[in-house]
């Protein structure tokens, strides 16, 4: 269509124009408005359109100038950043070794799909098979409570890591997590719009974690767990735990708890069925019984009661007390019904050393609470001396979750029972390690080490080169510790701990059987002691938890199996040192 500007505003139509077009009239399509006179666009419409296009062009020019000139440098940097991706470089976690440099926890390449085919996104492993190494643990039971387990770095749904470190969840993996972890590095990659990497550069190198050397001998650790688990299964005990410790340095040679979880299973996170079974297992495999388990100690406290009595001067080691199988004391409420406290058998006349050897209850009733002409040390002094030997408080071992335990006292009874009146019978029961007495295996080995060293308590630890911490019980004569040790040695030679009378090493030991429940048909079986007797190097404590009162193999027989094995495979631990 062609527009034509008229020079005047005359709107009249010349007649000739009408006749000129009339001959074409029959060919016009009137439905399409053909043959009608066209009306020209007004000038202001054309001008308005021109102004509109000029404004639009000006806006575009202004925007281009703003982007190129005003914001050019900032946008250039932003563009550079958009094509450069920053990613984390993971250093390897430190390796955990035993005292002989046997690896207990180490790393494997994460692209070993066959080895880690069960790794799942639950623990972050399968999402990052090429990003970080995976953790591998020694393929043997008995180590999990010491080693613990870890969680892996984790990604979100967009593929970005929101956790860039391994997380220690238990054991030394948790306690020494910072040292084992090291430091992550940073890598810059240049990518195109399709995320194809064209170049990369490391701007911060990762630092591998520090290795950790434990005091544990993996050979002894394996066997200790085995003998405990075998005894529990064969004799009907629910669980068990044991500790072997260097009495001079506090180094833990072996420390195990049965049953246990698997460090590998919890770290991998793939075996959901096994993990679920840990929560329902009545043996509570998550509980580290060696440091967190509390047990009624029974007669293993008797050597310490003897030392307390000697230190208070209420009896001499040579004085004998008659055990006819029980003692009776008047009952103030029912005079015709005296209270009877039984011994486990009639021992006849026994002095202190023999009372320890045969574990006479009557003897320790008398020196604990007093009987006839024999003065007792009393419950206040029992509490004082037991705490002096470390019972009722933490030892300070470098393991999380250590329990404090408890020593029965009038205050304790008043707090825990409606009728809080303290009776003489409560003192008697406390003196033989019953009633509300609660100790852990690590406390037991800590205490018995003071008898081996004649008065030195050393803080236990499981990491090599730890600072040795000692507490000297200088206020107690070393001769009193000797008497207790001699009684424990007699117990092995001809007393109740005869199971440990072996040829390979001379041992001093004390057993304990703590009755459980109202029916007293279940027991905890204990054995504590040290070796070699002449110049002690190691103390031990072993407890078998909640077994039938007529068990076939308890703590003494279990420790005998361990001693026999060590005599063959690790005899170096039986050698005396100066």
Give pLDDT, residue 292: 97
Whole-angstrom distance, CA of residue 464 vs CA of residue 97: 10
Give the residues across from 526 on adjacent strands. Answer: 512, 543
Whole-angstrom distance, CA of residue 453 vs CA of residue 458: 9
Contacts of 332 (CB under 8 A, 6+ apart): none
Whole-angstrom distance, CA of residue 141 vs CA of residue 4: 102
CA 19 to chain centre: 111
Given a contact cutoff of 8 angstroms between Cβ atoms, the answer to whether 148 and 172 are in contact is yes
What's the average model confidence in pLDDT over 422-442? Answer: 95
Is 229 a residue whose pLDDT tops 90? yes
Closest CA to 374 of 335, 323, 422: 323
Chain position carrying tokens 């329990």: 403
When comparing pLDDT for 146 and 51, which is higher?
146
Is 35 a residue whose pLDDT tops 60? no
70 DSSP assignment: I
Is 578 a residue whose pLDDT tops 60? no
For 376, list phi and psi in degrees, rounded to 5. Answer: -100, 160
Whole-angstrom distance, CA of residue 529 vs CA of residue 20: 136
- What tokens appear for 89 in the block? 């470089």
Report the relative pairing of strands 103-108 and 212-213 from DSSP bridges. Answer: unpaired
Q: How confident is the model at residue 57 (pLDDT cuts 50, 70, 90)?
A: confident
| Helix (H/G/I), strand (E/B), else coil: 385 | helix
Give pLDDT, residue 511: 97
Is 2 a residue whose pLDDT tops 60? no
What's the average model confidence in pLDDT over 557-577? Answer: 94
What's the average model confidence in pLDDT over 423-452? Answer: 96
Whole-angstrom distance, CA of residue 76 vs CA of residue 100: 58
Whole-angstrom distance, CA of residue 121 vs CA of residue 110: 13
The mean pLDDT value of the chain amounts to 87
Give pLDDT, residue 44: 76
Given a contact cutoff of 8 angstroms between Cβ atoms, the answer to whether 389 and 326 are in contact is no
User: Would you put residue 236 in left (φ > 0), alpha (ψ -120 to 50) or beta?
Assistant: left
Chain position carrying tokens 């590998």: 264
CA 442 to chain centre: 16
Element at 144 (helix H, strand E): helix 144-147
Give the residues across from 239 on adjacent strands. Answer: 545
Element at 20 (helix H, strand E): helix 15-22
Q: Kindly state the percentage of the chain with pLDDT values over 90.
A: 66
- What tokens appear for 386 in the block? 């037991």
Is 267 a residue whose pLDDT tops 90? yes
Q: DSSP strand E in 363-472: where?
A: 456-458, 470-472
Report the relative pairing of strands 161-163 and 508-516 from DSSP bridges. Answer: unpaired
- What tokens appear for 230 in the block? 């075998």
Crossing angle of helices 378-388 and 302-312, rounded to 10°: 110
Taken in order of first residue, the domains within the chain and their CATH numbers are 84-213 (3.90.1310.10), 218-275+282-574 (3.40.710.10)
| Helix (H/G/I), strand (E/B), else coil: 95 | coil
Q: How many helices (H) does the chain have, and how many strands (E)?
A: 19, 22
Cα angle 92, 212, 264; round to 5: 65
Residues across the chain: 578
Where b means 16+ CB within 10 Å and e means fewer, 280-299 reads: eeebbbbbbbbbbbbbbbbb
Is 160 a residue whose pLDDT tops 70? yes
When comparing pLDDT for 385 and 191, which is higher?
385
DSSP string, 190-225: EE-TT--EEEEEEEE--BPPPPEEBS--HHHHHHHH
Name the most confidently modeled range: 37-51, 92-106, 506-520: 92-106
> Over 294-344, what HEC string results?
CECCHHHHHHHHHHHHHHHCCCCCCCCEEECCEEEECCCCCCCCCEEEECC
Regarding pTM above 0.85, the answer is no
Q: How many CB atoms lie within 10 A of CB 520?
A: 10
pLDDT single digits (tens) 468-513: 999 999 899 999 999 999 999 999 999 999 999 999 999 999 999 9
pLDDT single digits (tens) 110-136: 754 444 444 444 455 544 455 889 999
- What tokens appear for 133 in the block? 């190494």
């Amino acid at each position: 269509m062609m527009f034509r500007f008229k020079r005047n505003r005359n709107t009249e139509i010349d007649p000739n124009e009408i006749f000129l077009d009339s001959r074409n009239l029959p060919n016009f399509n009137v439905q399409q408005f053909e043959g009608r006179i066209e009306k020209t666009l007004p000038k202001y419409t054309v001008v308005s359109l021109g102004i509109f296009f000029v404004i639009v062009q000006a806006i575009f020019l202004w925007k281009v100038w703003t982007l190129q000139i005003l914001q050019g440098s900032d946008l250039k940097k932003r563009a550079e950043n958009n094509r450069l991706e920053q990613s984390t470089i993971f250093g390897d976690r430190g390796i955990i070794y035993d005292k002989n440099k046997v690896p207990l926890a180490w790393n494997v390449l994460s692209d070993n799909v066959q080895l880690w085919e069960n790794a799942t996104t639950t623990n972050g492993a399968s999402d990052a098979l090429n990003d970080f190494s995976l953790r591998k643990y020694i393929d043997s039971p008995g180590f999990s409570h010491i080693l613990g387990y870890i969680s892996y770095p984790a990604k979100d749904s967009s593929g970005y890591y929101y956790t860039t470190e391994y997380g220690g969840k238990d054991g030394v993996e948790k306690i020494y997590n910072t040292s084992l972890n090291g430091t992550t590095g940073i890598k810059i990659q240049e990518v195109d719009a399709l995320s194809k990497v064209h170049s990369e550069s490391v701007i911060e190198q990762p630092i591998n974690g520090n290795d950790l050397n434990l005091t544990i001998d993996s050979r002894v650790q394996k066997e200790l767990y085995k003998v405990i688990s075998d005894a529990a299964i064969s004799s009907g005990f629910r669980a068990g735990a044991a500790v072997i410790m260097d009495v001079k340095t506090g180094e833990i040679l072996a420390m195990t708890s049965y049953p246990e979880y698997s460090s590998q299973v919890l770290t991998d996170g793939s075996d959901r069925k096994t993990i679920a079974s840990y929560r329902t297992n009545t043996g509570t495999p998550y509980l580290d019984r060696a440091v967190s388990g509390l047990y009624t100690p029974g007669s293993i406290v008797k050597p310490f009661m003897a030392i307390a009595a000697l230190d208070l001067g209420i009896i001499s080691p040579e004085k004998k007390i008659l055990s006819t199988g029980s003692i009776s004391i008047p009952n103030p409420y029912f005079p015709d019904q005296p209270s009877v406290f039984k011994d486990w058998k009639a021992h006849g006349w026994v002095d202190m050393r023999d009372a320890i050897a045969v574990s006479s209850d009557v003897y320790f009733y008398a020196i604990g609470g007093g009987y006839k002409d024999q003065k007792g040390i009393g419950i206040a002094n029992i509490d004082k001396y037991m705490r002096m030997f470390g019972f009722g408080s933490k030892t300070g071992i470098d393991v999380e979750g250590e329990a404090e335990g408890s020593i029965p006292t009038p205050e304790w009874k008043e707090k825990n029972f409606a009728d809080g009146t303290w009776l003489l019978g409560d003192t008697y029961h406390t003196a033989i390690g019953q009633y509300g007495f609660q100790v852990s295996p690590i406390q037991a080995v800590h205490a018995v080490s003071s008898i081996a060293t004649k008065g030195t308590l050393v803080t236990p630890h499981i990491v090599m080169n730890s600072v040795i911490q000692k507490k000297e019980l200088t206020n107690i004569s070393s001769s009193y510790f000797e008497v207790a040790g001699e009684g424990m040695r007699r117990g092995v030679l001809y007393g109740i701990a005869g199971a440990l009378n072996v040829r390979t090493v001379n041992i001093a030991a004390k057993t304990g059987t703590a009755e459980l429940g109202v029916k007293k048909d279940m027991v905890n079986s204990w054995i504590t002691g040290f070796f070699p007797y002449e110049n002690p190097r190691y103390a031990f404590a072993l407890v078998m938890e909640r077994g039938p009162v007529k068990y076939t193999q308890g703590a003494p027989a279990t420790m005998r199996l361990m001693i026999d094995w060590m005599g063959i495979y690790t005899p170096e631990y039986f050698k005396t040192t100066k």
